[in-house]
Amino acid sequence: MTAPPPATPAPPTPPSATPEDASPIRPASADPTAKNLGGQAVRGSAWTTLLTVGNRLVQVGSQLVLAYLLLESDFGLVGLAYSVAAFAAFIRHAGIGVVLLQRQRRFARWAEPATWLSLAAGLTAGGLLAGAALPASWVYDEPALAGVILVLALAMPFDALMTVPFARLRVDMRFRTVFFLEWGTALAVALTSIGLAFTGWGVYSFVLPKLIVGVLAVPVAWRLARVPPPRHLRLTRWKYILGGSLWVTGGGMLIQVINQGDYAVLGLYLPAEMVGLYYLAFVIATQSMTLVTLNLGGVLMAALSKMRGDLPRQSKALTDALTAIAAIGMPICFTLAAVAEPLVGALLEPRWEPSGELLAWLSLGIAFRLIGHNGNIFLQATGQWRKYLWLNAVNAVAFLTFCWAGVELGGMTGVAIAVSLFYVAYSYGYVAVALPAATPGRWTAPVRVMRDALWTSALAAALAYAATLAFANDWAALIVGGLVSVAANALLMIAFRRAYMLELFGRLAAGLTRRTKPTPSAPAPAPTPRPPHADALR
């Protein structure tokens, strides 16, 4: 790997940037909103953590109910469909939301062309996905796959229209609104999915709700964000948005290789039923990541973008955030790994039993992935587009290599182990390479942010796993193992990390008790009445 460029007073300017975006950026300390930024980020993180607990419960609960109503092959088909749709799904946003966050001080100037460009990207993505439906069904030898993909294609334009309002809400740091909106959408999708599954819609129970709810959610999001409806195409400005977003889109497409490559490899080697077992295990395993880092990552992206021009401050903000994410996320992931097999045995029918071992391995890997993911966010927020692209290219090739070796050596279990080993390397490499070359202790930073959380979580999980072995009944093993893990983590935190954890939870609690006022991204000539998945389908 080549060494990253040294830190500079201002972040790299995206290619083809307009004169307005290429102008010198004042130091973050001179920004009158800088004093409130830390508090806004804490409050955003607090609301994100609280409200997305409900979101995760909805999604996990719906998947468990669907596992009773649907077949393993239905889960496998939707997993294969998403492995195809994820690439088109990234085109639908084309990195436009990231560019809007980067240019938030002149958001009003770029919102109108960004809306039309998002719609064009959504229509293009939908068309490409529809064209890929039949070839994908031939490649995977699953005729029913084409219809599932076509439904996802129809949903693409409506999802693309959510880009600008969500960007506006994030610029204004209105994370409470963002996650109420996301939670409401997730609940509507879950209830609709269960209703369709109960009435015999099979695999379409997964995808039709995304189309139905997507159509209804668009006007709600625009109204909440208070973005004026677009009137003019502003075609001359499209190229300036695309100039920055093409790098984001290219890197994001490579990320989708990591997000979906394991499904694709499994689909080529194994029947849909086995892909379904892996798919359900991965869905459950990733809920902890979605809760802890994908949603907090939205807060981190907005906060880092507001620090433009101050790379040292951005670097410190990243390592502080990663330390907090490790402290919260690693105990959850390791606990889930310890109780994975009794969890599947207690909550699901015996036909899903193989998912337990897969869930254990994948949960261990997710504990590391949640660290590496935020190195990705850091590169986007600091505008390091070229590094973002080549680093994701290296990771994509490595991930497919790991998956191929895993399926050859051990089938679906081999893939789960290989994916987890990849994420261990991913967590270290992404963070170390993402930090600027001048960052003190750059190559040891990933170890420092994970060290304490890693050994305490691993020890607590080992004790919990040993406790589960003493019980033949799955419910007893699940309850006792979970309690042992919680107690062991709490005791280890009190003994070794008491001061840090009290400070962390104190800041989160304080964030929940104070309201955040929207921060204007730029001075306006007149008062304006205005107070935004994981782009990935996986």
Q: What's the pLDDT tens digit per position in 84-117?
A: 888 787 777 666 776 777 676 777 777 888 888 8
Q: What percent of the chain has pLDDT over 90?
A: 40
Residue 139 CA to residue 131 CA, distance in Å, equals 14
Give residue 246's pLDDT band: very low, low, confident or very high (50, 70, 90).
low
In tens, the pLDDT along 153-195 reads 999 999 889 888 888 887 777 777 877 788 888 889 999 999 9
In tens, the pLDDT along 291-317 reads 655 555 555 555 555 555 566 777 777
Cα dihedral 356/357/358/362 (nearest 10): 100
Decide if 38 contacts 306 (C-beta within 8 A): no
Residue 345 CA to residue 47 CA, distance in Å, equals 33
Cα dihedral 179/300/62/53 (nearest 10): -70
Q: List the alpha helices (DSSP H) in 351-384.
A: 355-381
Across 76-80, 174-178, 324-328, 348-352, least confident range = 174-178
Amino acid (one-letter) located at 108: A
Which phi and psi (to 5°) does residue 84 adopt?
-85, -45
Give residue 240's pLDDT band: very low, low, confident or very high (50, 70, 90).
low
| Tokens linked to 81 | 């469909």
Residue 43 CA to residue 45 CA, distance in Å, equals 5
Residue 87 CA to residue 138 CA, distance in Å, equals 18
Q: How far from each other are the two terminal CA atoms of the chain, in whole angstroms?
A: 29
Whether the model pTM is above 0.75: no
Give me Rg for the CA atoms of the chain.
22
Which phi and psi (to 5°) does residue 227 adopt?
-95, 130
Q: Is the dihedral of CA 150, 151, 152, 157 positive or negative?
A: positive
